[in-house]
Amino acid sequence: MALLALAVAAQLNVTAIHVDHGLRPESASEADIVRTAAKSLGAQFRAVTVNVGQGPNLEARARQARYEALPDDVLTGHTADDQAETVLLNILRGAGVDGLAGIRPTGGPSHQVGHPLLAIRRAETEAVCDLLGWVPVSDPSNNDHSLLRNRIRQQILPVLNEAAHRDLTPILSRQAALMADDANFLDELAAEIDPTDAKALASAPVALARRAIRRWLSGNHPPDAASVERVLAVARGEVIACELPGGIRISRTNQRISITPTPAQD
């Protein structure tokens, strides 16, 4: 809601989009709150309904369904507090440099999601809404402590702040920005490596070879570290081929690496 107001104040051509994931019965009616806010500012409005589907990790499935329904140049209201939570979340998941970079101001090449409020605190966005007399909707799932991000926000980060005797959000956000610069530089170097050239992969610095492989294999989700190492083993000639999650097979023939579907099992 704050992003909507700030985008209009910046004289952008604004369309507010409400996505109903169909996970809460009240979500559809909440679109009216966004519609009213957009109308009061002279912005356009669009409502979208998505089907999250079945499977594990509800948060990830909802996020994927949401972004598939949004335009590539969409802006989201993630704040510095969201950034700090994301960095901690990725640390707990064992992420590397890319994960420690957290939310990038602009997304990767496959989806140019913009995050213009990363330097703003959550309390500041609430203050914007207060000035306009708006009462933003509070998603009840934010109080669900079975979700790791919520535990980080409400339990882990406050304990870390207390232990450090300081507000860690600006520090984690600054570290994310530094890591993002490093990650971008490594990506530029890795882009010069042909991931289908086994000799080039095997002879490249391992940090760059891993990045070239991740870039090559990335679809909706980047490959895990174990999959990247298996592809490296193929490139080095340690094995002739390997199978990866998602039903794909990586093989080497005459120093060329190729991707094929995993053969069906009888």
* Cα gap 15→18, rounded to integer Å: 10
Domain boundaries, the chain: 2-79+103-139, 191-261
Model pLDDT, residue 62: 85
Listed in sequence order, the DSSP H helices in the chain are 2-9, 27-41, 58-69, 80-92, 97-100, 122-132, 148-151, 157-164, 169-190, 198-203, 206-217, 225-236
**Domain at 2-79+103-139, CATH homologous superfamily:** HUPs (3.40.50.620)
Neighbouring CB atoms inside 10 A of 127's CB total 13
* Cα gap 127→129, rounded to integer Å: 5
Neighbouring CB atoms inside 10 A of 11's CB total 7
Model pLDDT, residue 221: 66
Residue with tokens 């895990």: 224
Model pLDDT, residue 59: 78
- Give the torsion sign (CA, 224, 225, 231, 235): positive
Model pLDDT, residue 176: 96
The pTM (predicted TM-score) of the whole model is 0.86
Model pLDDT, residue 72: 85
Model pLDDT, residue 218: 83
* Cα gap 127→134, rounded to integer Å: 10
Render each residue's pLDDT in the chain as its tens digit; 266 residues: 999 999 999 999 999 999 998 888 788 788 999 999 999 999 999 999 998 877 777 777 888 888 888 998 899 999 999 999 999 999 998 889 999 999 988 754 445 679 999 999 999 999 999 999 999 888 887 888 888 999 999 999 999 999 999 999 999 999 999 999 999 999 999 999 999 999 999 999 999 999 999 999 986 567 889 999 999 999 999 999 999 988 899 999 999 999 998 876 55
